[in-house]
Amino acid sequence: MTLPLSILDLSTIQSGSTPAEAIRRSLDLARAADELGYRRYWVAEHHSTASHAGTAPEILIAALTQATSRIRLGSGGVLLANYSPLKVAEQFMTLEALAPGRIDLGIGRSVGGDERTGQALRTAGLQAFPSFFPLLQAFLLDAGGRQPFPLGHPLKGVQAQPWGPTHPDLFVLCSSARSAAIAGQLGVGMVYAEFLSGQGSTEAISAYRAAFRPSLFRRAPHAATAIAVFAADTTEDARRLDAPRRAWVVGEAEGLLEVFPSVEAAEARLADKAGHSAIAAAEARALVGDGPTVRAGLAAKLAETGADELFVIAAGPSLDDQVRSLELMIAA
């Protein structure tokens, strides 16, 4: 049985590589995912980090529309507090024009950086989400020909071009049961970021389904969870190739902001930090092993959480390692 799998690509920067190379690798990985039959390929938004290169998902998605032909493409996610809802609607209606029926708009509620970065972005802050999100919904429904602004609305006549006839699917990225319930109340899809904590998906998805209200975006709930996964031909190889991720988590816990280390440097750090609590945390929030072990774990995760779909984090020391991991995960 083929599992309902999608990909969240954080455009991680590997040792010996550059941020520009990380962005170009995302294009190659998306081509492979398209050929392998993954459902969606989403790219992230982070700012002013040493480890992740993706800052402009709308631009990267535009390139991906020309590099792929079947897979759905989206953001995981656009950080709405940083932008005008009209501008986000215009960007994603443009993407919908480039790849009709293949665009997802995943929205995050955070700023995506520290306070100084937020100031540089001129973010409106977390408090803006409750007013920004309904505006975004309204602009998309108006531009998609589904529901025009009512007469007398102050924005009547302001349209997000290019006009329809379709609009992107809409999701909220969640990190708690509370935010999942908000996604349900808004009547859109949700994706829970389990890769951040290694737990909480079951409770979040349950809260989302309980709170769900049908909308013009979605008549029935659709819940997904995003988890860190790495597969290789043997469990030993998988653990070795996953060492940079685990070592990076340890470094992050100690305030070390850096690119993902090489396999050799990662193994040395993990040996030096044996017993560090962050190592156990890194182990707990990922599924790592050979193909059959990982596929069984993914199937168990679907059953355990009640998710409709799983997003796997696309990471690895090299493009070949990443592609092989994706092949093993989706093998029938």
**Does any domain span residue 250?**
no
| Cβ contact 238:288 at 8 Å | yes
The predicted structure's pLDDT at residue 25: 96
Grade residue 158 by pLDDT with cuts at 50, 70 and 90.
very high
pLDDT band for 1, please (50, 70, 90 cuts): low
Whole-number CA gyration radius for the chain = 20
The total of other beta-carbon atoms located within 10 Å of residue 299's CB is 13
Res. 35: pLDDT tops 90? yes
Mean of pLDDT values over 163-188: 96
> For residue 77, is it within any domain?
yes
**28 and 319 Cβ atoms separated by less than 8 Å:** yes
Tell me if residue 173 falls in helix, strand or coil.
strand
pTM: 0.96
Taking residues 164-176, what's their average pLDDT? 95
When divided into structural domains, the chain yields a total of: 1
Answer whether residue 264 is part of any domain: no
CATH code: domain of residue 164 = 3.20.20.30
Q: Does position 103 have pLDDT exceeding 70, yes or no?
A: yes
Among residues of the chain, what percentage have pLDDT more than 70? 99
Is 266 among the domain residues? no
> Does residue 262 belong to any structural domain of this protein?
no
Structural domain containing residue 45: 5-242+287-330
Q: For 36-51, what is each residue's pLDDT tens digit? A: 999 999 999 998 899 9
Q: Is residue 169 part of a domain?
A: yes
Average pLDDT over residues 90-99: 98
Mean pLDDT for 291-301 is 97
Structure-block tokens of residue 105? 């708009």
Question: Tell me, what's the pLDDT at 332?
Answer: 66
Domain membership of residue 32 (yes or no) is yes
CB 10 within 8 A of CB 317: no
The token duo for 20 is 């520009």
What DSSP letter does each residue of 61-121 carry, written as one string? HHHHHHH-SSSEEEES-EEGGGS-HHHHHHHHHHHHHHSTT-EEEEEESS-SS-HHHHHHH
Classify residue 270: in a domain, yes or no: no
d(CA 70, CA 27): 14
**How distant is the alpha carbon of residue 120 from its chain centre?**
23
Is residue 97 exposed (0-12), middle (13-18) or buried (19+ Cβ within 10 Å)? Answer: middle
* pLDDT value of residue 271: 95
Q: Using one digit for the tens of pLDDT, what is the confidence trace for 302-323? A: 999 999 999 999 789 999 999 9
